[in-house]
């Protein structure tokens, strides 16, 4: 690499590190319930963040998925998809505010592109599933019991509208169709 090019690359790295246009970064975020997590990643689309602890010896994943800029008329979801970087097969955690004002967090295995996200059993067990909706932010908390083949995971996330109080199809703009990536739970490396 020649000198000017090196300089340009260095400058662009500096700019991306210090002056990213992203409104929030996960690193300095404080949860109102005082939960803390060793790792987090700013997801590349849909104003979303994943925070987690992973215990490699027991394959246990404690996570918090946050979506900022949420309104009461939308649902949010985060999933592991053992099948690939697609919606179909996603083992999803979903949350939204019910008409009575309670916040509903539940599991939904996605078996088709015509799903209405009904509650169902996932391919792994989990506990402590809950959700909050505060200051325009929806958060899903859960503790997942994973297996040794799910250390580098395919993660998929999404948000969409409620119609008649239940989840309806999300937008098909580029950001809603690229809301997935691989994540190494041990190193935190995301692609």
Point out which residues bind ligand HEM (CB under 6 A): 77, 79, 86-88, 90, 92, 113-117, 156-158, 160, 167-170, 172, 177, 179-180
- Residue 163, judged by CB atoms within 10 A of its CB (0-12, 13-18, 19+), counts as exposed
Q: Which range touches ligand NAG (CB under 6 A), out of 3-11, 36-44, 68-76, 99-107?
A: 36-44
Among ligand NAG, ligand HEM, none, residue 62 binds (CB under 5-8 Å by kind)? ligand NAG
Answer yes or no whether residue 35 interacts with ligand NAG by CB under 6 A: yes
Among ligand NAG, ligand HEM, none, residue 117 binds (CB under 5-8 Å by kind)? ligand HEM
Answer whether 105's CB lies under 8 Å from 126's CB.
no
Closer Cβ to ligand HEM, 102 or 172, answer by number: 172
Residues 191 and 184: their CA atoms lie apart, in Å, by 9
* Count of residues interacting with ligand NAG (CB under 6 A): 6
Answer whether 107's CB lies under 8 Å from 125's CB.
no
Closer Cβ to ligand HEM, 6 or 123, answer by number: 123
| CA separation, residue 97 to residues 47, 70, 75, 137 (Å) | 19, 11, 8, 12
- Residue 58, judged by CB atoms within 10 A of its CB (0-12, 13-18, 19+), counts as exposed
Q: Which range touches ligand NAG (CB under 6 A), out of 10-18, 33-41, 91-99, 116-124?
A: 33-41
Helix, strand, coil distribution of the chain in percent, nearest 5: 10, 40, 45
Closer Cβ to ligand NAG, 53 or 184, answer by number: 53
Answer yes or no whether residue 27 interacts with ligand NAG by CB under 6 A: no
Closer Cβ to ligand HEM, 139 or 158, answer by number: 158
Q: Which of 48, 62, 75, 105 binds ligand NAG (CB under 6 A)?
A: 62
Residue of 138, 144, 184 whose CA lies nearest to 62: 144
Hey, which residues does 155 pair with through a beta bridge?
80, 181
Question: Where do contacts with ligand NAG occur on this chain (CB under 6 A)?
Answer: 35-38, 53, 62
């Amino acid at each position: 690499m020649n000198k000017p090019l090196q300089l340009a690359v260095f400058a662009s790295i500096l700019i991306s590190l210090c002056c990213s246009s992203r409104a929030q970064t996960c690193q300095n975020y404080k949860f109102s319930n005082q939960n803390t997590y060793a790792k987090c990643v700013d997801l590349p689309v849909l104003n979303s963040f994943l925070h987690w602890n992973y215990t490699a010896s027991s394959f246990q994943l404690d996570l918090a998925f946050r979506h900022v800029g949420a309104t009461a008329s939308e649902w949010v979801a985060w999933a592991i998809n053992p099948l690939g970087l697609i919606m179909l097969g996603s083992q999803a955690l979903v949350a939204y505010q019910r008409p009575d004002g309670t916040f509903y967090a539940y599991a939904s295995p996605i078996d088709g592109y015509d799903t209405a996200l009904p509650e169902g059993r996932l391919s792994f067990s989990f506990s402590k599933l809950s959700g909050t909706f505060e200051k325009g932010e929806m958060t899903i908390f859960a503790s997942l019991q994973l297996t040794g083949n799910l250390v580098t995971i395919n993660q998929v996330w999404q948000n969409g509208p409620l119609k008649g109080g239940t989840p309806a199809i999300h937008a098909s703009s580029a950001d809603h169709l690229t809301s997935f990536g691989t994540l190494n739970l041990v190193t935190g490396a995301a692609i």
